A and B are shown apart, each in its own frame.
Chain A
């Protein structure tokens, strides 16, 4: 058996990896994915975005009839530093949803109100041990 170096396989592997990288780059540019932004960055945005922030009360309405209404503000922001964006949401409401909780919803801004896609809400598990210190409930 020949014992000389066989760079062929390495080259093939690199080619495959390279082709894959290009493919991924292509699909991720063309194939969507939503910008993830905070409520303070929302003003003037069009198109679907992923909004991450903290829930501000009061929470009114019905998620399965007419929509749940609440507001969201930047995580870590306070009433003085950032304004809260009104949000309407329909669909499943995760267990952990409540005022002060950090949530993520997909949707778009329509005449000043962020209209979330049905069922898109996820809540972040409260950080088990720092929850009390970090709770920004007003």
Chain B
């Protein structure tokens, strides 16, 4: 079996290398048949990677411990679903998953766009093949998932914190996101190589980029939720380098998704878009490098290994070659139109891009700062939470405000007078919200209050847009209000899907502001029968129980919760002691209020032999909006992603026309 896996990977390497060499030659020399054969080799590489993946999956499911990988990542007792998740639990498996997704995306993107972007595709194939060659080389020569050994009696098992349903979805979603960003990268580089630098590469990759971006976003939120309910320190994001590694490409991709619209509509920002795509792809490679190389101190420390230098070298090559190509094609990338006014939709999008990029680069700076300071000063200096929090406010809050302004401001040139009319109602709503919140005591945190006010502003603009659009459709003859509403969305999915995503970001901003700027914390050592107070809650520690589960001893403290004299039932918090793994994990108690979105979050930090427990309790207002934001984000992304044949035809037609130089 292992031989089959190894052979399949070797075949993938051969096919990718062929697609790279033959594809490049075919594109250079204009050989159509050779180009087809290169394209087919790329598609076949997906097939052979799929075979290799099945071999690994089968070995995992059969607990075949003669595979070193299987023995290291699983055990007999591990439930089947976690045996499956062990596929991406270790380094070699995750590289294989990376290659599988990469070749899958490559085959799909190339086949779906083969007809109308033929002269572009011939150059896209070798770019994809180059990336696939790198990954298959790593899997064949450096980190093979098919190394074998004399089978031990049982495997080493999986860390308890990873034996968790979130680990079934969180890593693969991040991979879909990371790897999905290869698609716009390959098309952008293909466009540069072929000299077809019109808007076609954008139209061809729009859905792939959106999909990758949505997967990366949802993947991160799942990770945050996992950290919140399972890791149990009371937060959901710690600015850890590995968390940042996923956030940075997401921010770059967010900037790209916005600036793309400016290029599609006005032909501007062509160089900028290519730069953003190169940045997003390089950051996703850099993220993998960070997680795998162990160069920075992180809470997540994966198996440190020899692939770090390979990745660094690959990133250097990618950046150097891409920027070289960009410089070479710079004359062709001049945009036919220019920015007309600093108060226009184009300008608002440009500001949004600069802020997103600034935030992204600030985070990058924070991540690499320990390495840089070590190189310069000989001593690694770590930037703390304050650094990231400061810049999140400095760049994030204006970004939030722009999210309300951008979609409503006029193209080309907006007058101040028209701005006053457009934003009359949203501004009034925002000011009213600010005043009400100030009266209610939200002035305790200025950034929090600003975030709330800006969120109200954006929410008002979104509601306004939906109301106006629906009214217009009703006036155009829609039978009913619901009918007008649904036809509004159906007719312009990108726009209204975008608004729904914006609404999700508003929820996210409110949730983050509420739970971080207005939270309360209390600690106390309680004996049975003792009570503690936090905000308007009273908690009484009633009993301590010990239960024996399949693989752990569960100790739970039961607390009675009351708020303002009302009995809210009980809450359990405690610890699990995993016998085989010799590890203890906090099991927090969370009571979510369905009406206010507030959480009461109880950690039993220390349980003493005499039954006294040291509790740490948080009250986190509005924190549940963050998770609701995830669902809304998914909905908005789906609306924007949903295939729309008419829209696609229109874009294709426009890109075709743009491809032919016409008199303007």
A residues near B (Cβ < 8 Å) are 1-3, 5-6, 9-10, 13, 16-17, 20, 24, 27-28, 31-37, 50, 52, 62-65, 92-96, 98, 102, 104, 122-132
Q: How far is the CA of A90 from the CA of B614 in the complex (A)?
A: 12
Set B382, B582, B585, B614: member contacting A34, Cβ < 8 A = B382
Residues of B bordering A, CB below 8 Å:
72-73, 89-90, 156, 158-159, 161-162, 232-233, 271-272, 297-304, 334-339, 354, 358, 361-362, 365, 369-370, 373, 379-384, 386-387, 390, 523, 525, 575, 582-586, 603, 605-606, 614, 616, 664
Across chains A and B, the number of contacting residue pairs, with CB separation under 8 Å, is 125
Contact (Cβ within 8 A) A1 B664 = yes
Is A132's CB under 8 angstroms from B338's CB? no
Contact B365 A128 (CB under 8 A): no
- The CA-CA distance from A50 to B469 in the complex, in Å, is 55
CB distance from B478 to the nearest CB of A (A): 38
- Do residues A13 and B379 form an inter-chain contact, with CB atoms below 8 A? no
On whether the beta carbons of A5 and B334 are closer than 8 Å, the reply is: yes
Given A1-B336, A36-B297, A65:B89 Cβ within 8 A? no
Residues of A within 8 A of B525 (CB): 64-65
Min Cβ gap A93→B in Å is 7
Q: Is the CB of B387 within 8 A of A31?
A: yes
CB < 8 Å neighbour of B159 from A9, A94, A122, A126: A126
Minimum C-beta distance from B59 to chain A (A): 16
Instruction: A103 to B509: give the CA distance in the assembly, Å.
Output: 32
Is there an interface contact between A31 and B386, defined as CB atoms closer than 8 Å?
Answer: yes
Q: A32-B386, A37-B380 are in contact. List 6 more A-B contacts (CB 8 A).
A: A24-B362, A92-B616, A96-B584, A125-B301, A128-B73, A129-B73
The answer to whether A17 touches B361, judged by C-beta atoms less than 8 angstroms apart, is: yes
Specify which chain B residues have a CB less than 8 angstroms from the CB of A92 in the assembled complex: 233, 603, 605, 616
Once bound together, how far apart are the Cα atoms of A92 and B297, in whole Å?
Answer: 20
**Which of A17, A63, A128 sits near B303, CB closer than 8 Å?**
A128
- In the complex, which of the residues B156, B298, B585 contacts A124, with contact meaning CB atoms closer than 8 Å? B298
What are 13 contact pairs spanning A and B, CB under 8 A?
A: A3-B336, A16-B354, A20-B361, A62-B606, A63-B605, A93-B606, A95-B584, A95-B585, A102-B301, A124-B299, A125-B161, A125-B301, A129-B90
Chain A, residue nearest B234 (CB): A92
Instruction: Name the B residues within 8 Å of A27 (CB-CB).
Output: 387, 390
Chain A nearest CB: distance from B146 CB in Å? 16
Which 5 pairs show the lowest CB-CB distances between chains A and B?
Answer: A129-B72, A36-B380, A33-B383, A124-B301, A64-B614
Question: In the assembled complex, which residues on chain A have CB atoms less than 8 Å from the CB atom of B383?
Answer: 28, 32-33
- Indicate whether A128 sits within 8 Å of B159 (C-beta atoms), given known contacts A20-B361, A33-B382, A36-B381: yes
- Chain B residues whose CB sits within 8 angstroms of the CB of A32 once the complex forms: 383-384, 386-387
Given contacts A31-B386, A104-B297, contact A128 B381 (CB under 8 A): no
Complex formed: what's the CA distance from A24 to B391 in Å?
A: 10
A33 CB, min distance to chain B CBs, angstroms? 4
Let me know if A36 and B370 touch, CB within 8 A: yes
In the complex, what distance in Å separates the CA atom of A82 from the CA atom of B354? Answer: 48
Chain B residues closer than 8 Å to A37, beta-carbon distance: 379-380
Decide: A33 and B664 in contact? CB cutoff 8 A.
no
Pairwise interchain contact A24-B338, C-beta atoms closer than 8 A = no
Closest residue of chain A to B354, judged by CB?
Answer: A16
What is the chain A residue whose CB lies nearest that of B361? Answer: A20
B334 touches A28 (CB 8 A): no
Given contacts A32-B386, A35-B380, A37-B379, are A127 and B303 in contact (CB under 8 A)? Answer: yes
Contact present for B362 and A125 (CB under 8 Å):
no
Q: Is the CB of A33 within 8 A of B299?
A: no
- Assuming the A-B contacts A33-B369, A36-B380, are A94 and B233 also in contact, with contact meaning beta carbons closer than 8 angstroms in the complex? yes
Interface-central residue, A13, A16, A63, by most chain B CB under 10 Å: A13
Chain B residues, Cβ within 8 Å of A124: 297-299, 301
Q: Which residues of B contact A127 (CB under 8 A)?
A: 301-304
Specify which of A2, A10, A35, A126 lies most central, judged by the most chain B CB atoms within 10 Å of its CB. Answer: A35
CB distance from A1 to the nearest CB of B (A): 6
Given A28-B365, A128-B303, A6 and B386 contact (CB-CB distance below 8 Å): no
Q: Which residue of A lies closest to B69 (CB)?
A: A129
- Rounded to whole angstroms, the CA-CA distance of A50 and B379 in the bound complex is 11
* Also in contact, A95 and B89, with CB within 8 A (given A20-B358, A36-B297): no
Distance to closest chain B CB from A127 (angstroms): 5
A37 to B377, CA, bound (A): 13
User: Which residues of B have CB within 8 Å of A20?
Assistant: 358, 361-362
Q: Are B156 and A35 in contact (CB under 8 A)?
A: no
Residue on A nearest B575 in the bound complex, by CB: A95
CB neighbours (8 Å) of A31 from chain B are 386-387, 390
Give chain B residues whose Cβ lies under 8 Å from the Cβ of A126.
Answer: 159, 301
Nearest chain A residue, comparing its CB with the CB of B381: A33
Contact A125 B300, beta carbon cutoff 8 Å: yes
Which single residue of chain B is at the shortest CB-CB distance from A68?
A: B606
- A41 and chain B: residue at smallest CB distance: B379
Select which of A10, A36, A93, A123 is within 8 A of B382 by beta carbon. Answer: A36
- Do A95 and B586 have beta carbons less than 8 Å apart? yes
User: Which residue from chain B places its CB closest to the CB of A128 in the assembled complex?
Assistant: B159
Q: Are B158 and A128 in contact (CB under 8 A)?
A: yes
Enumerate chain B residues within 8 angstroms of A34, measured Cβ to Cβ. Answer: 381-382, 384
Instruction: Report whether B361 and A93 are in contact in the complex, using a CB–CB cutoff of 8 Å.
Output: no
Residue of B nearest to A19 (CB): B358
Most chain A CB within 10 A, of B362, B382, B616, is at B382
| Cβ contacts under 8 Å, B384 to chain A | 32-34
In the bound complex, what is the Cα–Cα distance between A10 and B299 (angstroms)? 38
Assembly CA distance A62 to B383 (angstroms): 29
A35–B381 touching, CB < 8 Å: yes
- A126 and B159 CA atoms in complex are apart in Å by 8
When distances are taken between beta carbons in the complex, the residues of chain B under 8 Å from A5 are 334
- Inter-chain contact A64/B605, CB cutoff 8 Å: yes
Contact call B299/A35, Cβ cutoff below 8 A: no
Residues on B with beta carbons closer than 8 Å to the beta carbon of A102:
301
Which residues from chain A contact B272 at a C-beta distance below 8 Å? 9, 13
